[in-house]
Structure 1
Amino acid sequence: MSAHHQSRDTHRRVADPRSGDRRDEERVSDLVTMLTAGDPIADAVVAELDTLGPRARRALDAGLLHGAAGAGERLPEAVAALLRQVETPPAAVNPLLPHRGDVVSLSVPPLWFGLCSLTSALTHICSSPALARQLPRAGHPASVSMSRLAETGIWARQAIRPGGLLHGGPGYVATVHLRLRHARLRARSLKDWDTGAPGLPVGQLDMARTWLGFTSVAFGALASVGIDTTPDEERSLYQYWSYVAHLLGLDERLWRNVTDHAGARRLRNLIDAVSGAPAEHSKALTTTMIDAQARAMAAAPGAVLSEEQFRTLVHSVLRRTFGENTADRMGIPIPAAIDLMPLVGRLNREARYWQTYSPASAGEARRRALAGPGPELIAAVLPSVGAHRRPSMTGHRGAPAA
């Protein structure tokens, strides 16, 4: 099944980004067509899994772990096409990147990665009007929707680790499984999708929103607490995530010219312009996610803040990250406590200076980041979700399959 459907009167419903840049006008035209674009390769695999059953799933699992050549049997047509695509990285991708992992994200202390990177990225995902309408329809609004978001957080952890994106690695497998989960949600949404709605749920623009969430948005949130990146770090970050975009099935027009935070912000603004403002479902998802995050962090060993204090801190970070107008639309309250963010930012800038002062200190910072996942909403959500997931939904290495 290929999810690429033309919605009614799309062009007249798209917000004008009012950009004077001709290149941005051309990109808006591309983005309008992507409002109703899915991922034909992944969509075909999901349809094939439904048709052929366990044989196709076994072939997919073997192919992801051992490569198409090492799968040991003749592959179904759609699975073979998917494996050919993911095993052929873009020419511009440095082959050493998967070995090193995302060294920029790994330099962030686990506490701040969980509190800033994950929380802001998931908030950005929740802000999609199309996705926010779809997630509650997938099952119980709170448990299933939050499990989807938590699984996205797990994927991000696996994707950035050294060797994670090597063929058969946990991040590689998890990224393709995330892509197929997007296709599965897309297939379900087509049954009751209003073709006049502004955007296909979990289509190309929602997948781009996920990608931007863990690059531009995450590091914008980190900057709000004093964890900044250098131009060299920005280039390294987007080189790494260009390979992630390839594995996720993102249309190359979305990411091929994004090489730094400035380019990513332009893309974010254009996507927001064509997607529309966050819906009421976005507010509910965001509130649930923040509550889970604060609860998990307060329950972590050695936590020095209460759940309410963590919630206040998250609210402060998100309002600085997204701005007052967007934060209001997302239902993120103004913290009542004294604003300590300037002090937090100053302390983090001083700490980061010493963490990255030398190759040895930078390596030690990455080693500590790898030592443990840190407190985050995953711990608060996944233990209660197992009852809702069938055993067949779990693939190799604990990565949920399509």
Structure 2
Amino acid sequence: MVDLETSCRRQGAKGNRVVTLLTAGDPLADAVVTELDLHGPASRRALDRGLRHGLASLDPQSPPAITALLEHLETTPSQVDPLMLHRGDVVSLSVPPMWFELCSITSALAHTYASPAIARLLVGAGGPPDLAASRLTETGVWTRQTIRPGGLLRGGPGYVATVEVRLAHARMRAASLADWDRGAQGLPVGQLDMARTWLGFTLIAFQALETVGIEIDRAEERSLYRYWSHVAHLLGLDESLHGDVADHVEARRLSDLLDATTAPPDGNSTTLTAAMIDAQARAMAGVPGAVLTEEQLRHLIGSMLWRAFGEERGIRLGIARTPATTDLMPLISQLNRQARYWQTRSASSAHEARRRALEEPGPGLLTTLLA
């Protein structure tokens, strides 16, 4: 973390709260990881049963840390409407799958990699090319499970997967503390890193979608953040960070605060970003019916990220700028705006758009555009 004094002065109470969370982890998840290591398979079986069937399915003598975590998970925040969980993230589901994959997943990961502290930990965990491909796959699967109708209901695939992400953060935090620079301000994979990740799939993802002409209105923004407030709860994110974030305006304030106290992207950030762009382009070029080459997709992804993050962040992340003469983004944006108007102009057309989003992604508009 950097420049804390200036950030606190500018942001007031919110800035002071960030300082108090500098060394905050996730005590409930941290305790479960310790318990799993101490008691082995028996604890793992209890955790799996509790996640899929609820706290009531456990024996009274079940491990106390697992019991405490489940009690927290099953205490639904007051702002969460159970009917909303049955419907899923209707805003994200209204986005054509190909564009959701290309924009949302890619921009969220690039946003995460822009933090040099996170990037250093990830590079240390494995080779960037292999890591990028596996993270793309894992993140894509988790996101689809999370936004599906019923995905976040207790025992649902998104519910279980989100808690597993939370425990993975706790395990990474425990492992990284062994060689962490104790003189550095902040805790590895702590609350502020988790807030950054959460913003990647809300604010940052939809900033990226705007660059290709897919925009949402104020009502959709509020619906998006109501849904993702429950994701934040399951991830163990402190409510003081996300509780008052109800739209893009408030999310941007939080994002600006985190960015102001985070060092600029470094060599690890650029290495991971480049590997991720390559992996995404390779994966999308290999989809049956794809009409763009890997190189063309790399240019398209780079153009989208450059527009979403701005020139300064684009340069720091090492993203190549697409020449204006070969940049398809203006035409793609215009066509997507027209398509989205017809997809969401009525309740029936919006329902059909969400239904298609639940199916396997296909070439979609890009094929029509370039065929």
**Could you say which TM-score interval applies, normalised by the shorter chain?**
over 0.9
Write the deviation string for residues 298-337 of structure 1: whole angstroms up to 9, x where unpaired: 1101111110110000001000000000111011111135
2:367 is aligned to none
Check whether the contact 2:162–2:231 (CA below 8 A) recurs between aligned residues: yes
Aligned to 2:261: 274
In 1, are the aligned partners of 2:85 and 2:150 still within 8 Å (CA)?
yes
Question: Contact 2:104–2:204 at 8 Å: present in 1 too?
Answer: yes
Measured at CA, do residues 236 and 19 of structure 1 come closer, stay the same or move farther in structure 2, by a change above 3 Å?
farther
* 2:309 match: 322
Secondary structure in 1 matching 2:161: helix
The question of whether the paired residues in 2 share the 8 Å contact of 1:135 and 1:145 is answered with no
1:146 is displaced (CA, Å) by 4.5
In structure 2, the residue matched to 1:354 is 342
* Offset, 1:203: 1.0
For residues 120 and 114 of structure 1, the distance between their equivalents in structure 2, rounded to whole angstroms, comes to 9
Q: Secondary structure at the match of 1:16?
A: helix
Q: CA deviation at 1:290?
A: 0.5
Distance 1:198 1:18 in 2: 15
Q: How does 1:138-149 map to 2 (within 5 A)?
A: 138-144=125-131, 146-149=133-136
Measured at CA, do residues 153 and 25 of structure 1 come closer, stay the same or move farther in structure 2, by a change above 3 Å?
A: farther
Given that residues 8 and 16 in structure 2 are in contact (C-alpha distance below 8 angstroms), is that contact kept between their aligned partners in structure 1? Answer: no
Measured after TM superposition, the shift of residue 54 of structure 1 is 0.5
Is 1:246 the counterpart of 2:246? The answer is no
Aligned to 1:398: none
TM-score (ref. length: structure 2):
0.94
Shift of 1:141: 4.1
* Aligned with residue 16 of structure 1, among 6, 26, 29: 6
Q: Distance in 2 between matches of 1:196 and 1:146?
A: 33
8 Å contact kept, 1:131–1:201? yes
Paired residues for 1:275-294 under 5 Å: 275-294=262-281
1:301-340 alignment to 2 at 5 Å? 301-336=288-323, 337-340=325-328
Kindly provide the amino acid, as one letter, of the partner of residue 221 in structure 2: E
CA distance in 2, matches of 1:191, 1:149: 27
Give the direction of change, closer, same or farther, for the CA distance of 1:252–1:71 in structure 2 (3 Å limit).
same
Which amino acid is 1:202 matched to? V
Taking the aligned partners of 1:105 and 1:51, their CA distance within structure 2 comes to 40
Give the equivalent residue in structure 2 for 1:383.
Answer: none
Q: Residues 373 and 172 of structure 1: is their aligned pair in 2 closer, same or farther, counting only changes over 3 Å?
A: farther
Name the % identity.
61
- Residue of structure 2 equivalent to 1:174: 161
Q: Is residue 2:358 matched to residue 1:370?
A: yes
Matched residue, 1:201: 188
**Deviation, structure 1 residue 205:** 1.2
Question: SS where residue 358 of structure 2 aligns?
Answer: helix
- Once residues 63 and 156 of structure 1 are traced to their aligned partners in structure 2, the CA distance between those partners, rounded to angstroms, is 22
Cα 1:17/1:58, change in 2 over 3 Å:
same
- For residues 269 and 37 of structure 1, the distance between their equivalents in structure 2, rounded to whole angstroms, comes to 20
| Unaligned ranges ≥5, structure 1 | 1-9, 376-402
Cα distance, 1:55 vs. partner?
0.7
- Determine whether 1:222 maps to 2:212: no
State the 1:200 CA deviation. 2.1
> Does the Cα contact within 8 Å between 2:90 and 2:354 map onto a contact in 1?
yes
SS at match of 2:261: helix
Q: Cα distance, 1:276 vs. partner?
A: 1.9
